[in-house]
Structure 1
Amino acid sequence: MPPPRPRKITAGEQVVSVFDGAITFRNLPHPTRNFNLEVTFSDHHPHLLRLREHEPPPHFHYLQVEYFQVIEGSLYVDVGPNRVLLTHNDDELPVPPWVRNRTIPGPLSNDQQVTKFLLSGPAPKGKESRMLDYIFYENYYRYMDEMVSTGQAIDFIQILCMFDAGGSCIMLPWWVPCGMLVSRALGVVVGRWIGAILGYQPYYREWTTDWDTAARRMRSSLWQRRFAG
């Protein structure tokens, strides 16, 4: 059974607000980066309090460097085996391709109500159809928000489909041999091929501001071109 269509039309909104306002972001211009998101965490929001207790699974990107720079507050960034606490006093932190990572809200403070940081990255070379950019984040967070707000279970195939389009993979447990390569294969076989057969698409018109670019990318895939109409 294909996944249900999005309930809300949010394409074109300048600020993406998800999880009842716990996380918001907008895309800012940058002279050399393909995307440059100004992300705001509402530090004391119940959703972020839960996120501190139940950390999201790590992931990795295989095409692009991702950069983090804190403007206000603090942020934990896991890079490989290391956990780095970033504040506004720190330089920009790069996360290279093929390195597992995740972000977690920093320590709570009664004096600090929000955390703001920049999340950015360049376009990959020669891989225009699959990349991290505003389109990916717009669709991924809209999907997660809809599932959480309606109490529905997160669909693993949908996540794999979106991550594959974003040049990203979920990290598998450490005991899986060649875990990164297996995860990469899962994204292609399950997320892209099987997912497309079942009706899963990486981008949805209802959520995507730059639909022309999203449609062009899906048309480049034999499996996903039927979703580009």
Structure 2
Amino acid sequence: MARSWQLWLSPRPLVRTDTSHEPTILAANEAARFEFLQEGNRWVVQETHYIDNPIARKGLSGPQLHIHLRQTEYFQVQQGVLGIYKNETEHIVTKADGTVEVPAGTRHRFFVHATSQEDVIFRVWADPQDLDHSFDENFLRNFVGYLRDCQRQGIAPSPFQIILFGMNSATVPCLPFWVPIWILRAVAYVLAYWVAEGLLGYQASYPEYNRRSGGGGGRGNGDNNKKRI
């Protein structure tokens, strides 16, 4: 539990919504839906970004620029038009493009492309899987759950918490201009483990969000099953 002075330094949700056993969760402002699937030994997330939602329509329902240090990310669009920014190039991706690969170490982000006339539905996964500290379902559940609870409780998300989530999954945020990966990684390490975890008392994963940690019993209505910090 966070101490009072840590709450004063960096406010956070007073309760966390238990979605650890929910197969589908909504993003902040209900701009997108995440459905967690298992295909053999591989986890896959099917994301639906709603074109009628102003956040999605402005291309803001996806993440900011980031790098996966250890894994290649794959996208398969099923409906609509997805924009993927890879290094310095914007790519327009539709179902006809099949599987699109974003190699490890690539600066990238994805978003609802301005030309899309319908909800954008796509599947995304990363390989190799089952690594320690990798981009996986645990990361997405924590990241999406935290941002949603911040939005519902009127709290600005902490960049330190977000960086800690990222470092726990070998993912680092990027600046809008090129910076060597080793510098990004070093700065993110300090901010994640010295500031976020050591000083502010944030955690890299929360049982209310993370399926692997249990999260408080069986499946139920997340809004009615909450835990205090």
Does the C-alpha gap of structure 1 residues 6 and 122 become closer, same or farther in structure 2, counting only changes over 3 Å?
farther
- Superposed, which structure 2 residues align to 1:1-229 within 5 Å? 1=6, 3-4=12-13, 6-31=15-40, 33=42, 35-52=43-60, 57-110=64-117, 112=118, 114-123=119-128, 128-174=131-177, 176=179, 178=180, 180-197=181-198, 198-211=200-213
Higher relative contact order (CA 8 A, sep 6+): 2
Q: Distance in 1 between matches of 2:82 and 2:116?
A: 12
Distance in structure 2 (CA, Å) of the matches to 1:108 and 1:174: 26
CA RMSD of aligned residues (A): 2.4
Residues 26, 33 of structure 2: 8 Å contact kept:
yes
Matches of 1:117 and 1:85, distance apart in 2 = 13
Alignment coverage as a number of residue pairs: 205
Q: 5+ residue gaps in structure 2?
A: 1-5, 215-229
Kindly, what percent of the aligned residue pairs are identical?
Answer: 25
* TM-score scaled by length of structure 1: 0.80
Moved over 4 A (4+): 2-5
Distance 1:93 1:148, change over 3 A: same
1:160 Cα offset (Å): 1.0
Q: CA offset at residue 4 of structure 1?
A: 4.7
Q: Which runs of 5+ in 1 are unaligned?
A: 213-229
Do 2:67 and 2:104's aligned partners in 1 also have CA atoms closer than 8 Å? Answer: yes
CA distance in 1, matches of 2:21, 2:63: 28
1:51 offset after TM fit, Å? Answer: 3.6
SS in 2 for 1:204: coil
3-state SS of 1:160 partner? helix
| TM-score (norm. length: structure 2) | 0.80
Aligned partner letter, 1:206? E
CA contact (8 A) 2:17 2:145 kept: no
Q: CA deviation at 1:137?
A: 0.4
